[in-house]
Amino acid sequence: MKWALGCLVGACLISGSHAESALPTPASPPGAALHWSYHGSEGPSHWAEIDEAFRACERGKSESPIDINSNTTTKAPPNTPKIQFFYEPMPVHLLNTGHAIQFGAHPRKDSVTLSGRRYQLIQFHFHSPGEERFAGRASPMDMHLVHADADGKLLVVAVQFIVGPKPNPVLGALLQDIPQRAGGEKMDEAVMINPSGLLPKPTSGYYTYSGSLTTPPCSEGVTWIELKEPVTISAAQLKAMRRFYYHNQRPIQPLNGREVIEVN
């Protein structure tokens, strides 16, 4: 099913139902351990007040998420290199961060390549509703797959989820192991997860732009890949994910003249 800019309707907009703050790597951004929230006095409009390390959340000019619509996109040339995925099964490593449910990738071969550059998968996590907007509308839930290249430059692949008649098997397996409390961690070597099962088929079409982490410290210079095609999950799966976190969504940020490229 094509992810049309003006067509997030029906199950995609059912009522009721993040890049995560600090990457779980030795090179965590400055200020990553500081407390912040999605609501109240520590919510998005106050992130820059919490610490000097979070100033980009207010002063940044290339922030994420953004609203993608036909008026702000430019079609890429036909020969533009496309992103390629190289994911393999890995043991479950789940963390309830207090802001999102996050899966920590093992240092294996799981990676993507774009224009000849390889980015290693670090982690992926979920937001509900989805942080990206398409013609002003958000999906019920999204996933951000965070990657880094050898120089530490980040690339995030965003996948949108919509509700359909069938559950997603990979998400179903993850739901069995999610830690209930904030700060909880669960490792399950007996269960192997392939992130490819959470990607749309095919994965050829996407939008790309230069943005930032969507949580403090809101660091910029992040390459974003917004896959057009959504992935279907069941209503029960969405409800189960929203029991953990709902409204962990940063508001839309100004485009400030940035170019959004559509790759088909």
Q: Is 122 helix (H, G, I), strand (E, B) or coil?
A: strand
Q: Which residues of 124-142 are buried (b: 16+ CB within 10 A; e: fewer)?
A: bbbbbbbbbbbeebbbbbb
CA distances from 94 to 66, 77, 84, 126, 154 (A): 28, 39, 25, 12, 21
DSSP per-residue codes, 189-211: EEEEE-GGGGS-SS---EEEEEE
Per-residue DSSP letter, 137: B
Active site residues: 99
Beta bridge partners of 120: 111, 148
CA 47 to chain centre: 19
